Amino acid sequence: MNSTVSPLNAAKRIDGKGCADQIIASIADRVAILGIQPGLAVILVGADSASQTYVNSKSKRAKECGFYSAQYDLPEDTSEVALLELIEQLNVDDQIHGILVQLPLPDQIDPEKVIQAIDPTKDVDGFHFNNAGRLQAGALEQALIPCTPLGCLHLIQHELGAELRGKHVVVVGRSNIVGKPVASLLLQQDCTVTTVHSGTVNPEQICRLADILIVAVGVPQLVKADWVKPGAVVIDVGINYVEDSSGKGRLIGDVHFDAVAEKAAAITPVPGGVGPMTIAMLMQNTLLVAERAL
């Protein structure tokens, strides 16, 4: 992957799509000599347009990798019992190595119950308690690591190299999907990690200490230039849909890109940064499960 330098600022624009394309190509090469076809089942409940787009992207990437791809589009009124029954069928299906249920789910379904119903060895999202516990304990060889944190790590190491020992990382956000697992993952890279959240006093002062700043809170353009240390690497996980005064919509991140890019050494754009890497890591996890099955 090549990061490009914008003519408007000094920061490198980290090309997440380019990196993801390289990873997908590498996975396809590995699948061609694997001896079995990895299988990925993706379940979507309801007709949320953003979720449909994301699920379709996952299924498309799975086919590019040479996977067997099974997509289940269930109606909005699907019961929790029916969804759990489908998951149980997929848990024992030898053709399926990875199971993913697209979030959010309709109100009648408890997402935590659904996540914990997935066989942890097929939990390619890495959200099951078994996988979360293994990550926290440092048992990475037995874990399936959540896709967005793993994608963040790949992008950081692309910019700074594999050796991150001693780097000060500040993670803005403490969700179970991104904030907590990415903090744990970087601790295991011997980084010094600080988590900033809604209860943190003077968060901008803490963020200014970061060599690596990861922002994942879902607040459009929360992080301004005065939150950022000159020369930091900034990873923007946020994806926020906003409309201007004319009603025209666009996607923006949790970081004020133009302003922060004037101070950072490298920064991920939105879209085109972390998002494509999340899908690439999903494919990598699915291949890993298939390889473990041999």
Q: Is 58 a catalytic residue?
A: yes
C-alpha–C-alpha distance, residues 228 and 56, integer Å? 35
C-alpha–C-alpha distance, residues 88 and 166, integer Å? 44
33-60: b (≥16 Cβ within 10 Å) or e? eeeeebbbbbbbbbebeebeebbeebbe
Tokens of 89: 């069928």
Angle at 184 between CA 4 and CA 62, to 5 degrees: 55
- Contact predicate 245/277, CB 8 Å: no
Residue 209 exposed, middle or buried by CB count within 10 Å (0-12, 13-18, 19+): middle
Catalytic residue, from 58, 167, 180, 229: name it.
58
Task: Determine how β-strand 240-243 pairs with β-strand 249-252.
Answer: antiparallel
Whole-number Cα distances in Å, 148 to 93, 121, 124, 181, 266: 26, 18, 11, 9, 18
C-alpha–C-alpha distance, residues 203 and 53, integer Å? 34
Angle at 203 between CA 197 and CA 206, to 5 degrees: 115
Q: Is 122 a catalytic residue?
A: no
Q: Is 125 a catalytic residue?
A: yes
Catalytic residue, from 102, 221, 236, 254: name it.
102
C-alpha–C-alpha distance, residues 226 and 209, integer Å? 11
Task: Determine how β-strand 192-196 pairs with β-strand 212-215.
Answer: unpaired
Catalytic residue, from 15, 123, 125, 254: name it.
125
Which are the catalytic amino acids? 58, 102, 125
